[in-house]
Amino acid sequence: MPIIDLLERNHKLYGDEVALVEINPELREEQRVTWKEYELIQPTSSAFYRRQITWAVFDEKANRVANMLIERGIRKGQKCAVLLMNCLEWLPIYFGILKAGAVAVPLNFRFTSEEIDYCLKLADADVLFYGPEFIGRIEDIASHLKKKMLLYFVGDSCPSYAEDYYRQASNASSMPPIVLVEDTDDGAIYYSSGTTGFPKAILLKHSALSQSARMEAIHHETTKQDNFLCIPPLYHTGAKMHWFGSLYTGSRAVILKGNSPKAILESVSTEGCTIVWLLVPWAQDILAALDRGELKLEDYRLSQWRLMHIGAQPVPPSLIKRWLEYFPNHKYDTNYGLSESTGPGCVHLGLGNVHKVGAIGIPGFGWKTKIVDEKDVPVTPGDVGELCVKGPGVMVEYYHDPKATAEVLKDGWLHTGDMARVDEDGFIFLVDRKKDVIISGGENLYPVQIESFLAAHKKIHDVAVIGLPDPRLGEIAAAIIQVKEGEELTEDEVNQFCVDLPRYKRPRKIIFANVIRNATGKIDKPKLRAIYCGERLVEKQNQS
C-alpha cells in the first residue's frame, strides 16, 4: 500500500496519541528543567523548547498541504521540493505532497544557491517549500524561480516574492484529498552523486517507500511502545527511512534539533527514547564526554534505551566495544544502504550479530546481494568484487539520465560502486569504493567540485582532492596542490581562499606536492591515496 495509507491508519487508530515531538536544545538552555520536573509540565508552545503533534493533527496538517497544492493547480506526478531544517513542519509537508499525488523532492540544507537551482531544474520542480535559514540563498535565484514555480515560505516575516505557508495551509481543508495514489506511482526524488560534480536525481516509487517502513520495523523489532530519537537531517533517506519504522508501528518519535552529547542524553532521558540512530562522530563525542567526566550516566534516565544503531559510514569495531562498556545492555545494528536503494537496510548487521562488528552484515528483509568482478561474474567467497543489491527498494532510475541509469541498473541489480567481500558465514565486509566520493561525518564530499574551486586560485597549477582516514569523521578531504612555478603559496592563503566554500567542503589537510596523472591525463587517485594515506598512518604511529 502507498506510504500515506499508514499515516491515515494511525490517525484512525491512535489519533489522540503523540506522533512527533520537536526538541530545540538552544531554547532548553534558557528554560532549564530536570527530567523529573519535565514529567509534570509537557509544554506545547512554539516559544518553548518542546513542541508536539498527535497523529490526528499530523494527518490533518498533511491534508491541508495537499488541498492547498491541489487548489493551486498542482496535479498528480508534479514535483514539490522541500528545503527545511529539521522541524515539526517537515514531515506533514512531505506527506501532504504525497497525498496530493505529487512527488516529494527533499533538498540538502547544505546546498549552495547554484546547487539548489540545479536540483530544482533537474527534478522539474513546480513548488518549493523553504525555511528562514535559506532566505539568502533563495534570494540569489528568486528572480527566475518565482516566474516558474510556487514558493512557500515556512516561517515568520514572509518575503514579498514568496507565499506564507502558514496562512495558506490554515485556509485549506483538513479533509482527505480526493486523489488516487497507488503503489506503482512515483513517490519521491532524492539526490545523490558520484565524483562528477552535481547530484543525480533518484526516482523512487511509493512501493519502495512502504517497503522501507516495513523493513525498518522488522530489522529493529520496533513496537508501538518504542520511541525513536531522530537526529540526522530529514532530507536524507537515512533519517527518514529509519523514522518510517515509527510510522509503520504507530509509535512516537522525537526530532532533535542538535547533536551534542548532552542534548542527546537529555532527550533520551526526558522523552523516554528507546531507539537512537547515531553517526560515528556523535557516538565518539558521547564516549569522549563520558570519559572526561563531563557527562555522568547516573544523571539521566536511560534504562529504557534498548537500541543504538549506526549507518552512513564505516564503523570502527573498537568504537562499539567501548560503547558496550558504557551501555552493556544495548542492542546494536549497522545499516548499509544508498539513496538508490531507498536508504538504509538493503544490508544490515542484525541485532544479534555484535560479534561481527566490522561487517556491514547480511541481506536485509526482501533483499538479495551478490559480489561480482569487472565482467559481472560472481566472485569466490573471500575475494573482493563490487557489491550489487536487488530488492523492492531499488530506484526506478536516475531522473533524466538514462546513461547513468544503465551504468548502475542491470537486470534489476543495483551496482553500488562499493568493493566488498563475503566471509564464510555470509557476512559482507566493505573493502573500498570504486567511486572517489569522500564520506566525512556521514556527508558525501565530491572531489571534482572542490578541485574546480581551488583551480581558480591564481597560484595553483594543478590540484587533486582525496580522502584520508580520520578516526572521528571516517574520512577528511585532503587537497594535494601543485603550485605554479615561481610562485609561493602558504596553507593560510589556501584556507582563506576556501572561505567561500561551504564549511563542510573545505579541505581539512593541505599537501603541497606534484599532482600525479596517468597516461590519459586523468588524476591517478589510487596512487595518491597509496602515498598519502600511508604517510598519514606513519605520522599517527610516530605520534603514539
Domains of the chain: 3-326 (3.40.50.12780), 439-543 (3.30.300.30)
CA distance 209 to 103: 12
Strands 460-470 and 474-483: antiparallel
CA distance 67 to 61: 10
- In order of 269, 271, 301, 503, 530, the CA distances from 36 in angstroms are 10, 11, 10, 39, 54
Helix (H) or strand (E) holding 361: none
52, amino acid identity = Q
Question: Could you tell me which residues come within 8 angstroms of residue 7 by beta carbon, excluding any fewer than 6 positions away?
Answer: 55, 58, 59, 62, 95, 247
What's this model's pTM, rounded to 2 decimal places? 0.82
* DSSP code string of 231-267: -S-TTSHHHHHHHHHHHHHT-EEEEES---HHHHHHH
User: Would you say 256 and 387 are in contact if contact means Cβ atoms under 8 Å apart?
Assistant: no
C-alpha grid cell for residue 193?
552523486
- Comparing CA positions, the residue from 75, 67, 73, 94 lying closest to residue 83 is 94
- In order of 73, 307, 471, 523, the CA distances from 318 in angstroms are 55, 18, 11, 34
CA distance 185 to 204: 9
CA distance 37 to 106: 37
Phi-psi region of 523 (alpha: psi -120 to 50; beta: other; left: phi over 0): beta
Question: Could you tell me which residues come within 8 angstroms of residue 150 by beta carbon, excluding any fewer than 6 positions away?
Answer: 72, 74, 126, 127, 128, 163
For residue 35, what pLDDT is reported? 42
Cell numbers 490517525 correspond to what residue? 11
User: Would you say 310 and 280 are in contact if contact means Cβ atoms under 8 Å apart?
Assistant: yes
Walk along the chain (544 residues) and give the pLDDT tens digit of each residue. Answer: 899 999 999 999 999 999 999 998 877 655 554 444 444 444 444 446 888 999 999 999 999 999 999 999 999 999 999 999 999 999 999 999 999 999 999 999 988 899 999 999 999 999 999 999 999 999 999 888 878 899 999 998 899 999 999 999 999 999 999 999 999 999 999 998 543 457 899 999 999 999 999 999 999 999 999 999 999 999 988 889 999 999 999 999 999 998 899 999 999 999 999 999 998 878 888 998 998 899 999 999 999 999 999 876 667 787 888 899 999 999 999 999 999 999 999 999 999 899 998 899 999 999 999 999 989 999 999 998 899 999 999 999 999 999 999 999 999 999 998 888 899 999 998 876 666 778 888 877 878 778 878 988 989 888 899 999 998 888 999 999 999 888 899 999 999 999 989 888 899 999 999 988 764 456 788 788 889 886 544 333 333 3
Question: Could you tell me which residues come within 8 angstroms of residue 518 by beta carbon, excluding any fewer than 6 positions away?
Answer: 524
